Every structure is written in structure tokens, then in C-alpha cells.
Amino acid sequence: MAVTAATVKELRERTGAGMMECKRALDATAGDIERAIEELRKSGGAKADKKAGRITAEGIVVVRTSADGHKALMLEVNSETDFVARDENFLQFVSSVADTALAAGSEDMAALARLPLVGQSITVEEARLALIGKVGENIHLRRAAFVSANTPIGVYLHGRRIGVLVMLDGDHPDLAKDLAMHIAASKPLVISPDEVSADLIEKEKEIYLAQAAGSGKPQDIIEKMVQGRLKKFLAEVSLVGQPFVKDPDVVISDLLSKHRVKALSFSRFEVGEGIEKETENFVDAVMSQVQGK
């Protein structure tokens, strides 16, 4: 079977692979598109295996909401460099994956990888492998958060790097959005102090005791100092104890009381958060590119 521009175009649309890769795959399979797809998947998988160990600390966070505002999906997808995170192919892939996840109502990344990508005949994982082959970097579907509620969900996206979803027990869309913005800026760990883990409290207490040990103060005074600092710490890491970013004179707990509403849950994603970045020697990086590693 002859390889035509039309078959190359069809293969590109079905796989997302580059034009020359599609041409080579079709030449190798005598124009058989189905066999060419298999070849591209094999080569894409091989490339992905080589790059699987590379650190992906860049990328973007995206948010999708349903038409009624009662469902929301937040997704983080990582790349190795900020350059690829701005690449149109990467952005289109992330957008399609987010649409797929919202439609499925799932935050299970393993299950999401097996789903057909919205509007395409390939799975999310197959599309990821094809993208790795195209951009030459490891691509990682890191995490997702899906929320479904009877009331509007607060959503805030700060550029492409920070996203927040927050759920209240009342119908206050403006307040929910304000709280999402606040959470993006103030980074609370939990909603209320009683949700802070005992391990974290104990670690902080050990630090405060060590810091106060050389003060020369009596032990009972030290204990009071430590308790005071712990109380301050718990307020700082709890949403309800923080001053509202739009009005620092108002504490979030008072803001919620004013509207007679409670914060039920929130999710905050920041690109690369918690991932240890690799420091790369510039000369070695250039030589690696030259040698095609």
C-alpha cells in the first residue's frame, strides 16, 4: 500500500505523533495504519522507559468545573522543564486529560490513565507516551482532586502554577471563591487546629523546647512559652485561624461565622510542591543533548 499525505495525516490525528515519525512508521509497515500505530506505540514506550527516571518538577495545574458549578476537577501534570510546560502540545494534552477526568468524575490517576482521551481513539496513557516521544521529556500525571457538592465550589487558579478547590456547607459562591484565593496565598495545612497531626505538633514542640533550653528561664516558664508558640503555630497552619488576605483585621473563623457557614474541605496544588529538584551542570546538559542522550 502506498504511503500518501492523507494516510500520514490520519496517523498523526490518531496518535499525536510527529509527521516524520508517522511517515517512517508507515514506510516500515507498507502503509498499514493499524500496524503503524502499533509501531509508534512500541517506539513511544521505549522512549518513555528511557526517560521514566527523570525528575519532573515543572508543569502546570488546571481546573475544570461543570456548567452548574457543583462539580470541579483539579489536575497537576509535570514535565522536566518549564519550556515544555509552555509547549502547545503539552498544554493540549493536559487540557484533554482534565476534560476526561471531569467527565469521569475521578481522581484516581491509575484509572484515568486507562480511560479513552476525550475526542480521541487512544487512551490517556497512550497519549502520554506519544507526547514523551514528541517533546523529548518525561511527562508525569501527578495528581488530581475531584469534588462534587450540592453548593457551588470555590475555585481559584493563580496562573498555571497554583490551584485551589474549596467546599462550603452553604450557598455562598463569592465567599467560596474568596476563600479559594486566600488558601492559594496563605497555604493552610488543615481547616481547624484539631486536624493538625499529633506527630507534627510533637515535632514543633521539640523544636521550641530546644530553642528555649538555653534561655536560662525556669522550666515552668519555658513550658508556658512553648505552649504559647504552639498555639500560634496551630493558628497559622489552620484555615480558620488565619487573617483573611483581603482584610487582615478579620480572622477566617469570624468571616465564616458572619455568613453562618462552615468550610468542609479544600485542596491546594502547587506545581512541583514536595518534589526535590535535580541540580544539573549546564555543560553536562548541553553535551547530553548533543550526544542525544
Instruction: Provide the percentage of residues in the chain whose pLDDT is more than 90.
Output: 57
48 confidence band (pLDDT: 50, 70, 90) = very low
Residue pair 101/144 in contact by the 8 Å Cβ criterion: yes
| Rounded average pLDDT over 48-61 | 69
Distance CA 222, CA 220 (A): 5
Residue found under cell 515535632? 203
pLDDT confidence of residue 214: 73
- 96 vs 152, which has greater pLDDT? 96
pLDDT confidence of residue 112: 96
- 94 vs 138, which has greater pLDDT? 94
| Rounded average pLDDT over 223-251 | 94
pLDDT confidence of residue 179: 97
Distance CA 51, CA 47 (A): 6
For the cut 80, the answer to whether the pLDDT of residue 12 exceeds it is no
| 249-280 confidence digits (pLDDT tens) | 999 999 999 999 999 999 999 999 988 776 55
pLDDT confidence of residue 217: 81
Residue pair 104/139 in contact by the 8 Å Cβ criterion: no
pLDDT confidence of residue 283: 58
pLDDT confidence of residue 124: 95
Across the chain, mean pLDDT equals: 87
For the cut 90, the answer to whether the pLDDT of residue 213 exceeds it is no
| Rounded average pLDDT over 34-58 | 64
| Rounded average pLDDT over 113-132 | 91
52 confidence band (pLDDT: 50, 70, 90) = low
49 confidence band (pLDDT: 50, 70, 90) = very low
pTM value surpassing 0.85: no
Residue pair 167/154 in contact by the 8 Å Cβ criterion: yes
For the cut 60, the answer to whether the pLDDT of residue 45 exceeds it is no
Domains of the chain: 5-51 (1.10.8.10), 54-148 (3.30.479.20)
pLDDT confidence of residue 278: 60
**Burial level of 40, CB count in 10 A (0-12/13-18/19+)?**
buried
